[in-house]
Amino acid sequence: MSNTDKEDEHIHPEATLGFEYAGNSTEPDIGSGATIRSETIIYNDVRIGNGFTTGHNALVREHTEIGDDVVVGTNTVIDGQSEIGSSVSMQTNVYVPSNTTIGDDVFLGPNAVLTNDPYPVRKDVTLVGPTVKDGASIGANATILPNVTIGEDAFIAAGATVTKDVPPNTLAVGTPAEHEELPESLQGENEI
């Protein structure tokens, strides 16, 4: 692990930094100020900015790039080959599949699930995860289907199932999610 300022990091001895896969031995590059809790596993070929924090038992798989000041909650899985911006907060039990893009200032509530396979184990297709644009907020237990784009500053209600793109500054509610005008009380930037 590369780190320019080791004094401000807190890495639990039961965390695994640099899990080797398929013979790849390129250690993860983790910026300064990391707090990485027990049972967290970070694969090789991961690049993480400054101020990274995990809960317990988080997993970050290979070929993932993460910006600054990102929180990856307890039992959260980032399944690799994904890009995550800065000032992102992923709460407990979030699932981020491979080939997903998450912008800056994004919030993902507890148990939010993003998916990348439109026909699980039935058809051989290219896996494409969602794109979550800057400032979006995704509520607890929401499910975002493959290849869906969540627009800038959009708000996904708790429990929603998002089956189609959500325009910027829009509220998505229900199963399947219907789009509504974003109420004034939900407008503005995420305070992460």
Summarised one tens digit per residue, pLDDT across range 68-124 is 999 999 999 999 999 999 999 999 999 999 999 999 999 999 999 999 999 998 999
Assigned domain for 185 exists: no
3-state SS string for the chain: CECCCHHHCEECCCCEEEECECCECCCCEECCCCEECCCCEEECCEEECCCCEECCCCEECCCEEECCCCEECCCCEECCCCEECCCCEECCCCEECCCCEECCCCEECCCCEECCCCCCCCCCCCCCCCEECCCCEECCCCEECCCCEECCCCEECCCCEECCCECCCEEEECCCCEEEECCHHHCCCCCC
- Beta-bridge partner residues of 96: 78
Res 3: pLDDT: 46
Residue 64 within a domain = yes
Which of 2-16, 59-73, 149-163 shows the lowest mean pLDDT across its residues? 2-16
- pLDDT of amino acid 5: 53
The verdict on residue 105 lying in a domain is yes
Count: domains in the chain: 1
In a domain, 189, yes or no: no
Indicate the pLDDT class of residue 25, thresholds 50, 70 and 90: confident
Instruction: Kindly state whether residue 92 falls inside one of the protein's structural domains.
Output: yes
In a domain, 188, yes or no: no
Residue position matching structure tokens 């991961």: 46
The number of angstroms, rounded, from the C-alpha of 147 to the middle of its chain's C-alpha atoms is 15
- CB-based contact 131:114 (threshold 8 Å): no
CATH code assigned at 31: 2.160.10.10
Q: Which token pair is 83? A: 């890009």
Range of weakest confidence among 10-24, 46-60, 94-108, 121-135:
10-24
Residue 41 domain-assigned? yes
pLDDT band at 57 (very low <50, low <70, confident <90, very high): very high
Q: How many other C-beta atoms are found inside a 10 Å radius of the C-beta of residue 49?
A: 20
pTM above 0.85, yes or no: yes
d(CA 14, CA 150) in angstroms, rounded, equals 36
In a domain, 187, yes or no: no
C-beta of residue 93 within 8 angstroms of C-beta of residue 111: yes
Output the average pLDDT for the chain. 94
Least confident stretch, 20-29, 81-90, 178-187:
20-29
Residue-range definition of the domain harbouring residue 62: 6-179
Does 23 score more than 90 pLDDT? no
pLDDT at 2: 47
Percent over 70 (pLDDT), the chain: 96
